[in-house]
A and B are shown apart, each in its own frame.
Chain A
Amino acid sequence: MATLWRFTLFLCMLLMACGGLSLASKEAKTRNTQTETGMASSSNTTGEGGHGGAPITTLPIVTWKWDHISVQYLVALWVLVCWLCKLLIEANHNVTNYIPESALLICSGFILGGMIWGADKVQTFSLSPTVFFYFLLPQIILDSGYHMPNKLFFTNLGAILIHAVIGTCWNAASLGLSLWGCHMGGAMGDLDIGLLQYLLFGSLMAAVDPVAVLAVFDQVHVNEVLFIIVFGESLLNDGVTVVLFNVFDAFVSLGGGRINAAEIIKGIVSFFVVAFGGSLVGIAFGILISLLTRCTKNIQIIEPGFIFVMGYLSYLTAEMLSLSAILSTTFCGVLCQKYVRANMDESSVQTVKYAMKVFANGSETIIFVFLGISAIDKVIWVWNTGFILLTVFFVFVYRFIGVFFLQWILNRYRLVPVELMDMVIMSYGGLRGAVAYGLAVLLDEKKIKEKNLMICTTLIVVYFTVILQGITMKPLVMWLKVKRAAVTEVSLLEKITNKMFNHTLVAIEDISGQIGDNYFRSKWRHFEEKWMTPFLMKPSARKKQDDVFDVFHQLNLKDAMEYVTEGERRGSLEFVRNDSAILDFKKKLESEYTEPDIPPYMINDHGAMFTMGRDHIPSVSLEMHEQTMKAMRGAEAVDVHHLLDQHLYKSRKQYRHGFSRSDFKINRDEKEVQEIFQRTMRNRLESFKSAKMGVSPPKTIVKYSKKEQQEKIPNGKSVSKTKLCHSGDEDFEFSEGDSASGYDSSYPSFSMRATYRPGGGIENPAFVPDLYPTDLLQEIPPWLAESESDSSMVAPSLRAQANLPNSPMEMRRLGLLRASTRSTDTKQMNNDQLPSPPTSPPPPPPPSGQM
Chain B
Amino acid sequence: MGSSSSSRNKIPNAQELMHQTGFSSAHLLRLHDRFESLDRDNRGYLSPDDFEVLGGLAMNPIGGRIIEAFFSSGQDTVDFSSFVRILAHFRPTDRNRNKEGTQQELPSSRTRKLKFAFQLYDLDRDGKISREELLQVLRAMLGLQVTEEQLQSIAERAIQEADLDKDDAISFDEFKKSLEKMDIDTKMSVSFLK
Contacts and interface: CB of A to CB of B under 8 A. Distances in A.
Interface of A: 415-416, 486, 488, 491-494, 496-501, 503-514, 516-518, 522, 543-546, 548-549, 552, 555-556, 587-589, 668, 673, 676-678, 680-682, 684-685, 688-689, 693-695, 725-727, 763, 794-800, 802-804, 807, 810-811, 814-815, 818, 820-821
Q: Taking each of B31, B37, B145, which has the highest tally of chain A beta carbons within 10 Å of its own beta carbon?
A: B145
A543 B124 CA distance: 32
A510 B90 contact: no
B186 A415 contact: yes
Q: At the interface, is chain B mostly helix, strand, loop or mixed?
A: helix
A506 B56 contact: yes
B98 interface: no
Interface in B82-123: 87, 90, 92, 117, 120-121, 123
A689 B52 CA distance: 10
A416 to B, nearest CB: 5
Nearest to B194: A415
A261 to B, nearest CB: 40
Contacts of A818: 157
B63 interface: yes
A551 B133 CA distance: 20
Contacts of B87: 508, 511-512
B43 interface: no
B17 interface: no
A548 B139 CA distance: 12
A509 B186 contact: no
A510 B54 contact: yes
Given A504-B120, A517-B191, A695-B136, A673 B34 contact: no
A503 B150 contact: no
A504 B152 contact: no
A555 B154 CA distance: 10
A668 B134 CA distance: 27
Contacts of B136: 694-695, 794
B146 interface: yes
Nearest to B66: A507
B154 A548 contact: yes
B66 A676 contact: no
Contact of B60 (A507, A673, A796): A507
Nearest to B62: A503
A763 B149 contact: yes
Contact of B147 (A510, A512, A589, A803): A803
Contact of A508 (B90, B162, B175): B90
Contact of A688 (B48, B151, B182): B48
Contacts of B52: 685, 689
Nearest to B162: A493
A800 B168 CA distance: 24
Which 4 A-B pairs rank lowest in CB-CB distance, beginning with the nearest?
A800-B148, A492-B158, A510-B56, A796-B148
Contact of B144 (A508, A513, A681, A795): A795
Contacts of B133: 695
A520 B18 CA distance: 29
B92 A416 contact: yes
Contacts of B64: 681, 684-685, 688, 694
Given A668-B144, A727-B139, A794-B139, A693 B37 contact: no
Contacts of A680: 143
A504 B62 contact: yes
B32 to A, nearest CB: 11
A514 B192 contact: yes
Contacts of B160: 587-589
Contact of B56 (A492, A507, A552): A507
A257 B150 CA distance: 73
A516 B179 CA distance: 25
B57 to A, nearest CB: 5
B147 A681 contact: no
B153 interface: yes
Contacts of A685: 52, 58, 63-64, 67
B140 A794 contact: yes
Given A506-B60, A511-B38, A522-B56, 18 more contacts: A492-B154, A504-B117, A504-B120, A508-B66, A513-B37, A548-B154, A549-B142, A552-B153, A589-B160, A677-B144, A684-B64, A688-B67, A727-B135, A795-B143, A796-B144, A797-B146, A807-B148, A807-B152
B140 A684 contact: yes
Nearest to B87: A512
A512 B190 contact: yes
B68 interface: yes
Nearest to A513: B34
B181 interface: yes
A512 B58 contact: no
A498 B175 CA distance: 13
A494 B146 contact: no
B111 to A, nearest CB: 15
20 contacts: A491-B158, A496-B137, A503-B60, A503-B61, A507-B63, A514-B34, A546-B142, A546-B146, A548-B138, A549-B150, A673-B144, A677-B144, A681-B64, A689-B52, A725-B148, A727-B148, A763-B147, A795-B143, A797-B148, A803-B149
